[in-house]
Amino acid sequence: MHPVVFPAAAAIVGVLVLVCAVFAGPELLAAFTGLRDWIGDRFGWLYVTAMSGLLAFALWLATGRFARVRLGRDDERPEFSNLSWFAMLFSAGMGIGLLFFSVAEPISHFQSPPPGFADGLPEARLSMTATISHWGLHPWALYAIVGLALAYSGFRLNMPLSFRSLLHPLLGERVWGRTGDAIDTLAIIATLTGVATSLGIGAKQVNAGLTFLFGIANGTGVQLALIVGITAVATISVVLGLDAGIRRLSELNIGLAAGLMLMLVLGGGVVAFLGASVENLGAYLQVLPFSSFRTGAFSAESRAWLNDWTVFYWAWWISWSPFVGMFIARVSRGRTIREFIAGVVLVPTTVAILWLTAFGTTTLRQHTEHHEQLAAQRASGDTPAGDLPRYWVGTRDAEGELVRRADGSLERREQSLTAVEYLTAPIVSADGQRATDTLPTVLFVLIATTFQSTAMVNLAAGVATLCIVLFFVTSSDSASMVIDIIASGGNPNPPVGTRLFWALTEGAVAAALLFAGGLRALQAASITAALPFVVILILTCWGLVVALQKNERQRVSDRA
Average pLDDT, 10 consecutive residues per value, the chain (560 residues):
87 85 77 82 91 96 93 83 73 68 93 82 90 93 94 89 90 91 89 78 84 80 84 71 61 84 91 94 93 87 89 86 82 90 89 92 92 82 70 87 88 91 88 83 91 90 87 76 83 77 83 74 75 91 94 76
Are the C-beta atoms of residues 536 and 513 closer than 8 Å to each other? Answer: no
| Domains in the chain: ranges and CATH | 5-377+451-559 (1.20.1740), 390-450 (no CATH)
Helix (H) or strand (E) holding 414: strand 412-416
CA distance 216 to 460: 18
CA distance 460 to 446: 10
Q: Where are the beta strands (DSSP E) in 401-551?
A: 412-416
pLDDT at position 78, please? 84
Helix (H) or strand (E) holding 390: strand 390-394
Q: What are phi and psi of 34, to 5 degrees?
A: -65, -40
SS3 content of the chain, % helix, strand, coil (to 5): 75, 5, 20
The whole-model pTM stands at 0.88
Axis crossing angle, helix 123-135 with helix 137-151, rounded to the nearest 10 = 10
> CA triplet 155, 161, 167: central angle to 5 degrees?
95
pLDDT at position 49, please? 95
- Number of Cβ atoms within 10 Å of the Cβ of 281: 18
Closest CA to 122 of 135, 133, 110, 131: 110
CA distance 478 to 331: 11
Are the C-beta atoms of residues 320 and 191 closer than 8 Å to each other? Answer: yes
CA 224 to the chain's CA centroid: 20
Axis crossing angle, helix 310-330 with helix 26-63, rounded to the nearest 10 = 60
The Cα diameter of the chain in Å comes to 91
Q: Read out DSSP for 188-253?
A: HHHHHHHHHHHHHHHHHHHHHHHHHHH----SHHHHHHHHHHHHHHHHHHHHHHIIIIIIHHHHHH
CA distance 539 to 166: 8
CA distance 483 to 162: 10
**DSSP code for 128:** H
3-state secondary structure of 80: coil
3-state secondary structure of 336: strand
CA distance 163 to 170: 13
Note the pLDDT tens digit of each residue in 285-314.
999 998 999 988 888 888 889 988 999 889
pLDDT at position 50, please? 95
Q: Read out DSSP for 247-299?
A: IHHHHHHHHHHHHHHHHHHHHH-HHHHHHHHHHHHHHHHHHHHHHTT---TT-
Cβ neighbours for 83, distance < 8 A, ≥ 6 positions apart: 251
Closest CA to 329 of 534, 148, 188: 148
Which residues are 396's β-sheet partners?
A: 402
Closest CA to 226 of 201, 207, 253, 213: 207
